[in-house]
Structure 1
């Protein structure tokens, strides 16, 4: 067999809309399941008679698996070809979604959520790699493609609670998982026409690095989730935290010596890459954690019905749609710095606005932060993703996108764990958690903005 097998399909070039649409479909289903579950948490809790700790695991099992395996999946995309890996991810995700819908207790649902996370981890880096391979020759087209791709993901995250509320209102919480199956089937069929990257058969696979990274991440997030129930002084908690730190240090040591590392440390020689990955980490941590507690706040504190709670998130959808599409135009005109700094400013204002959330806050006061937060993120994230891809060689685009999305998903899982722990204790605790988000999130984003202003090189 030849050292390189070209998977680029021959014939008439595919349209821009088709390529972006199909790759975005994979991103849509994966991001939809990040947020659609949040709106169903009270119903799942009643169905299985379980507490907030189990609910955190139901949310984080997905993002932990997503984050733990995405580094390897990025390498597999570069190694075996992005189109093939993208299709495998869709198949895994569709099967896992069906299994989630028929789960019979919290443990089974958590395990099937892990399988969903594996499917997402496989298809996300490969979908972004397909875009980069198709449009690496044209920075303007690549920026537009990434803008639409991130817009689709952003809208699906924001639309998750709305769609989830509607599906639960019409049926049961199980329908939020069944809806993924036809979408995955459609993606598999359409993706047969996509142009993928070449197989790089000379590369190996870093199994030790993958296992060590997975152990480190699970130990860290598991300790944060169980912190509230056991306390920091419990051996299980501080032991897990110490174990996680040791694993992370060992992981870096192994990656330095690995022939084909899942995390090439050479990527971090670029200041653009470093600050943009840090930015993605902070945004996901604050956003995922805040949306988790807002879902509880709307239903358990303000006593919204599930359909009204879903509709309350409508500004998030509108904000992502408007700002994601606008971001691509701003990138083409001004580069990535302007939309990033503008977006971070807006999202800081949005998080600060959550200070007004109380036991009887009218919805019109929540509308502005609900709109500003996604608008700011929607402006910044496409520029962030474009900057990461342009900072590496296109042969490493799958790996680079995997590093970015791994850090974002891992941080998102930690955000759910941290803010969820604060919200564990009834209505008063939930309001306190939102107040803490209104303090912590803006401060973290302001620090990120300062680093972006200082170290991000214009491009």
Structure 2
């Protein structure tokens, strides 16, 4: 039942996130105003990140983990009340691309299963290899289906646009780094340092404050020097965050841990508003929802795969926290960010 409810919750979030960004594209036709609105949109995630671990830890300690899911009820009610004041969006006919939907789901599900179970069952085990083969075959089938469909879910021409393709790749890498880092730190605080759930949650509050402030700075910085330098710089800062966490150990002073987390707080907060605004400007208004859905799908996939990767690497003998596994994961994510930073530097317009 829990797994089924989580599937429903994920499906609902997958509908809400792209629609919210498409509403911003509709409400702010001016690119400069839209960039600042997107920055405020990203701040919402920062505030949630600050409040989520603290409230989650508090509820888990006081009422059990089941109480965590009640947090969504009042938030959802407030959002519904606010949406009443939003003008209706224009509608246009769109055929359902069932083949594209099915092959995309199979590709992502196969990839996620292979990464999650690879660390437990072994990378050469039959289920993992079968899932990887399913992901590859489904991805190839997706490309064929989209190329032949009259009204494809993801128009191939959109992906051939350099700005779109690079923004999607950077979104994947940035979320892999951020959510992988947050997941790693949560286990580090509780398993290696022996902190309670509440104490571990409180450790993320300073980081979230820095993220929120940097989100608001990003669009103004983009206006001054262009989006490409901001996106590249954000990824380079993220790389420094991955490398800065390599020396973490059980007895690293808490103040030093917080200092080392500054690059993790700043990197994504610089890059995400700029790359999101770049993507929204690169597509026509009627494709804003599609572009937003693609970006959020790849960002969530990057985060999920990073969590799965770190989950396998951080599990040492006897279930203990593995410092060598942590360092391997950090270096892998740093290499991914270096590749996408190079792509952004070479292929994106300066703006």
Query: Do they fold alike, i.e. is TM over 0.5?
Result: yes
Q: Give the 5 Å matches for 1:338-377.
A: 338-377=229-268
Match for residue 395 of structure 1 among 262, 286, 289: 286
Match of 2:306 in 1: 415
TM superposition shift of 1:162: 2.4
Of 420, 424, 428, the residue aligned with 2:315 is 424
Shift of 1:232: 2.4
SS in 2 for 1:205: coil
1:190 aligns with 2:82: yes
SS of equivalent to 2:64: coil
The Cα of 1:294 is off from its aligned counterpart by 1.8
CA RMSD across the alignment: 1.6
The CA deviation at 1:249 is 0.2
SS of the residue corresponding to residue 193 of structure 1 reads: coil
Which deviates further from its counterpart, 181-190 or 425-434?
Answer: 425-434
Deviations 1:47-88 (A, max 9, x none): xxxxxxxxxxxxxxxxxxxxxxxxxxxxxxxxxxxxxxxxxx
Give the structure 1 partner of residue 25 of structure 2: 132
Give distance in 1, aligned partners of 2:159 and 2:328: 32
Distance in 2 (CA, whole Å) between partners of 1:166 and 1:339 is 37
Q: How does 1:133-172 map to 2 (within 5 A)?
A: 133-136=26-29, 138-172=30-64
Aligned to 2:111: 220
The structure 2 residue matched to 1:279, chosen from 170, 177, 181, is 170
Q: CA deviation at 1:339?
A: 2.0
Change in CA separation of 1:362 and 1:281 when aligned onto 2, cut-off 3 Å: same
Q: Tell me what 1:115 maps to.
A: 8
What's the offset of the Cα at 1:351? 1.6
Which TM-score applies when normalising by structure 1? Answer: 0.73
Which residue in the other structure is 1:238 paired with? 129
Q: What whole-Å deviation, never above 9, does each CA across 1:91-115 have from its counterpart, x for those lacking one?
A: xxxxxxxxxxxxxxxxx22221111
SS at match of 2:261: helix
Q: Secondary structure at the match of 1:424?
A: coil
In the alignment, what sits opposite 1:296?
187
CA distance in 2, matches of 1:282, 1:348: 11
TM-score by length of 2: 0.95
How many angstroms does 1:158 deviate by? 4.4
Distance 1:259 1:155 in 2: 41
Distance 1:306 1:429, change over 3 A: closer
- Preserved contact between residue 294 and residue 434 of structure 1 (Cα < 8 Å): no
Choose the corresponding residue for 1:269, options 141, 160, 166: 160
Q: 1:434, CA displacement in angstroms?
A: 2.2
Q: Identify which of 188, 213, 217 aligns with 1:326.
A: 217
Q: CA deviation at 1:289?
A: 2.1
SS in 2 for 1:162: helix
Q: 1:369 to 1:437 in 2, by over 3 A?
A: farther
Q: Which runs of 4+ in 1 moved over 3 A?
A: 426-430
Asked if residue 445 in structure 1 is aligned to residue 337 in structure 2, the reply is yes
Report 1 or 2 for greater relative contact order, CA contacts < 8 Å, sequence distance ≥ 6: 2
How far residue 213 of structure 1 moved from its aligned partner, in angstroms, is: 1.1
Give 1:275 shift. 1.1
Aligned positions of 1:40-189 closer than 5 A? 108-136=1-29, 138-189=30-81
Q: What whole-Å deviation, never above 9, does each CA across 1:301-353 have from its counterpart, x for those lacking one?
A: 11001111111112221121110011122123333123222222222222211
Q: Which runs of 5+ in 1 are unaligned?
A: 1-107
